[in-house]
Structure 1
Amino acid sequence: MVVECHAPGGDLAVSQGVLARTVDALSIPADVASQLDTLRRKAEEPGWWQDYGDILSEAVQMLIELETDASWIRTYEGEVIPGLLQTRDYAERVITAVSPHIRVSDIDRYLELRMKRQKRLREGQRLTAIVGEAAIRQQVGGPAILCEQLRHITRVVREHDVTVQIVPFTADAHAALGDSFVIIQWPDEADPEAIYVDGVTSWTVHERDGVIRSYLHAFGSVQSQALPARESLDLIHDVIKDLR
């Protein structure tokens, strides 16, 4: 049996009374009923990101909601440093370039939101990021900003449960070419992963087994072409030296 509890604004909110009657009717064990009630109450609580609802797209709200409870995030980005690893200065340049019509008054709020998303890494969330070499070489914001961005990556890898692997320019073709995506996994390994794919004009969250298997294959394919973690950090250090 699967019981879904949705946050306000969703299709369905499970009240305490409805849940109690369901527990009685189905003779659900007390420990399971307690877990369901915890989920129900949690679903009624607004997420912290809802404070930014006036500037967030539905896609980004969905991604943050999925990230919040995740235990392990795997991501592939070919040309840009992943958001969870971006410094404020690098993020500002990316945001203003991608969204040229953004209101100046909203830029600080977007940056604040992006920095808040990174809090879960400091709380022990695991991150595996596969990044194309182009992302660590393109001088987004100029040499100084990129240099500090790369130093930040080395610090995060050293201090948290974060692995970064670089796909070098010399790598062969792989199943993730031209794509970028996030694989989100929750603490209960029995729960299936979710795949978040965000493009310029559309976004999708995949939860079907067949699609998940395809993206897990793509991630394994690109990871097989990436440098090992230690060699990736060596390459990052080489780029930092070149930027000085």
Structure 2
Amino acid sequence: MVAEGSTLARRALGRQLEALRKRAGISQFQAARVLGISPQTMGRLEDGLSAPSARDLYMNALCDHYGVSDGMRRTILALAHDVRAAVRHGGGWWRPHMDRRNDAFDPYSAVEDAVKRLTAWSVVLLPKIAQTPDYCRAVAWTAHPNAPTEQIEASVERSLKQRERLNDSNFDAEIFLSEAAVREEWGGPSVMAEQRRHLAELTQRPNVSIRLVPFNTRNHIGALVGPFSLLEFPLLPHSKFVEPPLVYIEEYVGNLYLERSEEVGRYKAALTELRRVALSESDSAARILAVSDE
């Protein structure tokens, strides 16, 4: 079955609540009794299928029972607010970037381990899952030139965590790159030479596909769409529903999450066009290495 109306915010909240419950050594049945609901409904909450239970009263009751810190309580309540915002907007919402030094929580980080397939189109910046540490560091310093070093290194650490997904044989990544993304000089020639070699090495992995769209490709849809990622999920653990895919767009001042079927469908159609015009995997790897030789 397909889970209708499920949102990334709900899924992030549910996964976080499940992790806190297990850390506290509390069964799903016991947690359900705290809220006065059935274990089945509790399972739906942890699967991200239940929106009404995101009320602050319920969230505070669970936080009290799980013995969470004040910072984590603020995170849970912020996620509950995101759930309600996503419901109001019908399955899509905009979340501004937060200062990484405070207790703000990125919903994407709560579900990235559950993504079974990532399909990305990148125009200038490479997707984080394919970045080397020095490339990521150069981008982070450009975006936040006055940030403390520890904040920059935390950003690099998050990027490396995403890269770990490529070691999972149950995870697939299909990445389309504009030629500009491999020619843009982030961090200087040595950083980019290492980054291009890394991209070429990634193409040798059985669960990774990297294909280049050259500059001389005429009238392709990628030039109009802009960078985005399509995230697809496996069966939910408790309900066994299939969570709908979502489109994730990372912007300079915030992130956009789209889950309406008609919106996701348009991005899927764009990916179909990119598959048509992109170079083959072997030709893409050769072109990437040729850019380094230049």
Give the TM-score normalised by structure 1: 0.78
Matches within 5 A, 1:66-77: 66-77=111-122
2:125 maps to which of 55, 80, 95: 80
1:220 maps to which of 255, 272, 280: 272
CA RMSD of aligned residues (A): 3.5
Contact 1:185/1:194, CA 8 A, preserved across alignment: yes
Aligned partner of 1:93 in structure 2 is 138
Distance 2:219 2:208 in 1: 25
Distance 1:172 1:57 in 2: 45
Distance 2:291 2:256 in 1: 34
Alignment of 1:65 onto 2:110: yes
Q: Deviations over 1:2-49 (max 9, x none)?
A: 79673468xxx98322789536xxxx7xxxx89759749xxx8999xx
Aligned partner of 2:228 in structure 1 is 181
Aligned partner of 2:288 in structure 1 is 236
2:255 maps to which of 203, 220, 231: 203
Aligned partner of 1:17 in structure 2 is 33
Aligned partner of 1:118 in structure 2 is 163
Aligned partner of 2:191 in structure 1 is 145
Measured after TM superposition, the shift of residue 96 of structure 1 is 0.7
Measured after TM superposition, the shift of residue 134 of structure 1 is 0.8
Aligned partner of 2:175 in structure 1 is 129
> Quick one: which amino acid aligns to residue 118 of structure 1?
R
Deviates more, 1:184-193 or 1:210-219: 184-193
Measured after TM superposition, the shift of residue 61 of structure 1 is 1.6
Distance 1:168 1:90 in 2: 22
Distance 1:238 1:187, change over 3 A: same
Alignment of 1:155 onto 2:207: no
Distance 1:223 1:194, change over 3 A: same
Identity %: 21
Distance 1:21 1:104, change over 3 A: closer
Measured after TM superposition, the shift of residue 175 of structure 1 is 2.4
Contact 1:122/1:160, CA 8 A, preserved across alignment: no
Contact 2:203/2:281, CA 8 A, preserved across alignment: no
What is the count of residue pairs matched by the alignment?
225
Contact 2:233/2:245, CA 8 A, preserved across alignment: yes
Distance 2:146 2:269 in 1: 37
Q: What is the SS of the residue equivalent to 1:100? A: coil
Distance 1:74 1:135, change over 3 A: same
Distance 1:19 1:217, change over 3 A: farther
1:194 maps to which of 235, 241, 246: 246
Contact 2:32/2:38, CA 8 A, preserved across alignment: no
Task: Return 5+ residue gaps in structure 2 as ranges.
Answer: 22-27, 49-61, 76-97, 236-240
Aligned partner of 2:154 in structure 1 is 109
Distance 1:98 1:173, change over 3 A: farther
Contact 1:19/1:37, CA 8 A, preserved across alignment: no
> Quick one: which amino acid aligns to residue 38 of structure 2?
T
Instruction: After the TM superposition, list the runs of 4 or more consecutive aligned residues in structure 1 that deviate by more than 3 angstroms.
Output: 1-5, 18-23, 33-40, 44-47, 56-60
Q: What is the SS of the residue equivalent to 2:209? A: strand
Contact 2:210/2:284, CA 8 A, preserved across alignment: yes
Q: What is the SS of the residue equivalent to 2:221? A: coil
